[in-house]
Amino acid sequence: MHFLDYVFLGFICGCLSILGDLCESFLKRCGNVKDSGTILSEHGGILDRIDSMLLVLPFLYWYVLEYLAYTHSENYDFDNIKILKFMKIY
């Protein structure tokens, strides 16, 4: 992948993680619930630990299926990795 693809993914995943946290907090406020469960209750519940991944993981799954399916071939030659040429390691 190109460097700009990594920047794009980092920006989008950062925004989606914040949005996932806000959505989970909104659901808890609508239900008048302080903690989302008894597992890890001192941290607000297990859902509070994974809330940033609620929207990021489906997006990454879609991105891998849609984008990387076009850029990855089955006969990929691992001797042609660009980072190895950049680091002058052969």
Condensed to tens digits (0 to 9), the pLDDT of residues 43-85 reads 666 777 778 888 899 999 888 888 776 665 555 555 555 555 5
**Could you tell me the pTM of the whole model?**
0.65
Condensed to tens digits (0 to 9), the pLDDT of residues 3-23 reads 888 899 999 999 999 998 888
Residues 9 and 63 sit within 8 Å (Cβ to Cβ): yes
Sign of CA dihedral 1, 3, 18, 15: negative
Count of structural domains within the chain: 1
Please give the residue range of the domain that contains residue 44. 3-86
State the chain's mean pLDDT as an integer.
76
Q: Name residue, tokens 């850029």.
A: 71
Rounded (10°) CA dihedral 57, 58, 61, 65: -160
Q: Where are the beta strands (DSSP E) in 30-89?
A: none
